[in-house]
Amino acid sequence: MAAPKGSFVIRNRCFAIGDLFLITLSALLGFAIRLDFPLFWTRLPICISFAVMAVVIKVPVYYFFGLYRRYWRYASVHDALIILLATTTSSTILSLLVLGLFLPQGWLDGFPRSVLIIDWLCSVFFIGAIRFSVRFLGEFGVLKRGNGRDRQNGKPRRVLIVGAGDAGTMLVREMRNNPGVGMEPVGYVDDNTAKVGMHIRGLSVLGTRGSIPHLVRQFKVDQVLIAMPTAPGSAIRQIKEICESVPVSFKTIPGMYELLDGTVQVSQIRDVQIDDLLRRDPVRIKTDDARYVHQKVVLVTGAGGSIGSELCRQVARRHAKRLILLGHGEHSIYLVLCDLQRQFPGLNLTPVIADVRDKPRIERMFQVHRPEVVFHAAAHKHVPLMELNLEEAVTNNVLGTRNVLEVAHQSGVERFVLISSDKAVNPVNIMGTTKRITELMVQDIATRAGRNFVAVRFGNVLGSRGSVVPLFKRQIAAGGPVTVTHPDMERYFMTIPEAVYLVLQAAAMGHGGELFVLDMGEPVKIVDLAHDLIALSGLQPGRDIEIQFIGMRLGEKLREYLFLAGEDYEPTQHEKVFVCRGCPSLEGEALHRAVQRLLQLAQHGASTAEIWAAAKVIVPECAAHLDAPRTPVNLPLEPGPKRRAQAWPAL
């Protein structure tokens, strides 16, 4: 590890020289403590011989245990254990030589055996003390040259830490270890009243979040840092409102999924983002069940999209043997390929530019690369655009999925995972209808062929291409207005990494034919998203940026739901994943004929009415956008035993 800039560095060669002295001192003290002063001088030759032996044995052992390859400025409990192990091992070797070889040979006559224990105790103390003194001096600023002054007024920013847990204490440690960041912590606030008044890493817990306005004025706080990476969105929202009322600037550390690849550091502090305000109780990272991709050839279709690219990253972290990136857009595949090559330089990557509607091309690709696990994320998903291009929605989503499904079945693929959507539930648009048809096709082929093919259904993901959050950001950057379709419009939201993690876990539970549904938490009003994004931009809704309601677009409904009426569903071993088994309207040969009829109409330029009529044969619950939505069903707030979704009143 490189030393922080501006720090006084004690090199490990200095520790090696110091150890020569301390090992000798420990040996001499062992004799001095054990023997009276006159007797000590008579045993001095034996003492010197023992000291030389100790140096010869202990220094190589310390080197073997890495005591000269560590940066002791950040010494930890683990380092203390290494010191204890190294000193104990070296003292044991020395004791075995003295007791087993030298004393029986008469080479150290008169050697007091208790000296071995005293020498070990002194070694543990001295070797540990000289190293941990470096951290001790660093904690109190003795070894620091830089003072981390604020560029504007020459003083460090005074910060108040919200959250006296692990994240908050790590922030304090980083601020003290790296004064160049220009931050001086003044204390904590925490909603756990039992912590109020306690001292953690030399700072007091000064109160709860309600004390923030008073503490900001009392301690002249320049900034509030929210160190609550697992807090729900409601808590972040309240703290944001408190800080705005003072006013005082505020930032936060990364959330759970941003911390998977590293620890909390001051450099990771950032402005509060919309993801933070939407956070529910976070998805808990349990034992990873996605071992089925380890050392497997994995194919991801739609790899250039938001979900597909994140699937590629998370599969890469699980050490796939080879990762095949299939997509129709060369630029998006190129960008994902470059990103993966940078993050995973040793990963075997194969980019494939192909259209899933081209079955001969898909067959050749499977023959050449032999994928063992397939994630099918390729699909058209933009609802209003697909309403104006029904043929594209049907051919890409239905024909493309059928091609990949059939070729995967013929090629003996071990596991197939379809990425579905909550818009497949009682769909009022062609995009949702096609996704429901693909769910039925996956369940049908899994049932008939006994294959481990499953589908995973979930709602909107924050930040995906074409989603509402990037649109709002562009509108705010342009000075407004921010356009919202309807004041009561609401959707389920997840972060992209969170959704993909659950997809991987759900697929591990499948045996064939299951439809997994991700618990998305509570739906969020789109107008609330707009207000939050405007506020996070430092502006006020209605004053700086106008919000306009423009009316619902083609194929939209006010609310999305996660289950069809009549679907039996039950919790799985993961509390955020449900599995449901409905009664498909069509299956087997009847489903095949109906799908073939729909595809023929789409490919031959049939009318919108004819395409919708053919789709309704497969998905009777679907309704064209001019019809009323039918019997939506919501997800229960808490998992329980098997349930049957009940019909709710039409919206």
pLDDT in tens, 178-211: 666 778 889 999 988 888 888 777 788 899 989 9
CA distance 497 to 628: 34
List, for residues 550-595, the tens digit of each pLDDT value: 888 777 777 777 776 666 777 787 777 888 876 777 888 999 999 9
Give yes or no for a contact between 20 and 127, defined as CB atoms under 8 angstroms apart: no
Residue 245 burial (CB < 10 Å; 0-12/13-18/19+)?
Answer: exposed
Predicted pLDDT of residue 460:
77
- Amino acid present at 161: I
Which residues have a catalytic role annotated?
423
Give yes or no for a contact between 306 and 383, defined as CB atoms under 8 angstroms apart: no
SS3 114: helix
List, for residues 122-145, the tens digit of each pLDDT value: 888 888 888 777 766 665 555 544
Predicted pLDDT of residue 441:
95
Predicted pLDDT of residue 280:
52
Q: Which of 190, 230, 183 is nearest to 210 (CA)?
A: 190
Give yes or no for a contact between 303 and 309, defined as CB atoms under 8 angstroms apart: yes
Pick from 89-98, 304-313, 502-511 the range whose average pLDDT is largest.
304-313
More confident residue, 149 or 375: 375
CA distance 344 to 265: 23
pTM as predicted: 0.60
Indicate the range of 94-108, 118-132, 216-230, 476-490 predicted with least confidence.
94-108
Domain parsing of the chain, residue ranges: 12-139, 157-278, 295-460+502-521+559-644
CATH class of 157-278: alpha beta
CA distance 272 to 259: 16
CA distance 417 to 451: 11
Predicted pLDDT of residue 155:
75
Predicted pLDDT of residue 419:
94
List, for residues 49-73, the tens digit of each pLDDT value: 888 888 888 888 888 888 876 666 6
CA distance 472 to 64: 58
Indicate the range of 132-136, 386-390, 398-402 predicted with least confidence.
132-136
Give yes or no for a contact between 591 and 440, defined as CB atoms under 8 angstroms apart: yes
Parallel, antiparallel, or unpaired: how do β-strands 322-327 and 297-301 relate?
Answer: parallel
Q: Is the pLDDT of residue 25 over 60?
A: yes
Q: How many residues does the chain have?
A: 651
The residue written with tokens 């048809």 in the block is: 437
SS3 604: coil
Read off the pLDDT band of 4 (50, 70, 90): very low
Q: Is the pLDDT of residue 637 over 70?
A: no
Q: Which CATH number fits domain 295-460+502-521+559-644: 3.20.20.70, 3.40.50.2300, 3.40.50.720, 3.30.365.10?
A: 3.40.50.720
CA angle 14, 25, 30 (to 5 degrees): 150
Q: Which of 521, 248, 230, 472 is nearest to 239 (CA)?
A: 248
Give yes or no for a contact between 518 and 455, defined as CB atoms under 8 angstroms apart: no
Average pLDDT estimate for 35-43: 69
Pick from 133-147, 411-425, 502-516 the range whose average pLDDT is largest.
411-425
Q: Which of 403, 588, 415 is nearest to 514 (CA)?
A: 415
More confident residue, 626 or 60: 60
Parallel, antiparallel, or unpaired: how do β-strands 515-518 and 453-458 relate?
Answer: parallel
Give yes or no for a contact between 435 and 427, defined as CB atoms under 8 angstroms apart: yes
Predicted pLDDT of residue 22:
85
Q: Which of 386, 470, 389, 461 is nearest to 421 (CA)?
A: 461
- Amino acid present at 253: I
Read off the pLDDT band of 40 (50, 70, 90): low
Predicted pLDDT of residue 375:
96
Predicted pLDDT of residue 398:
96
- Common-topology check for domains 157-278 and 295-460+502-521+559-644: yes
Give yes or no for a contact between 227 and 253, defined as CB atoms under 8 angstroms apart: yes
Read off the pLDDT band of 146 (50, 70, 90): very low
Tokens of 6: 């501006």
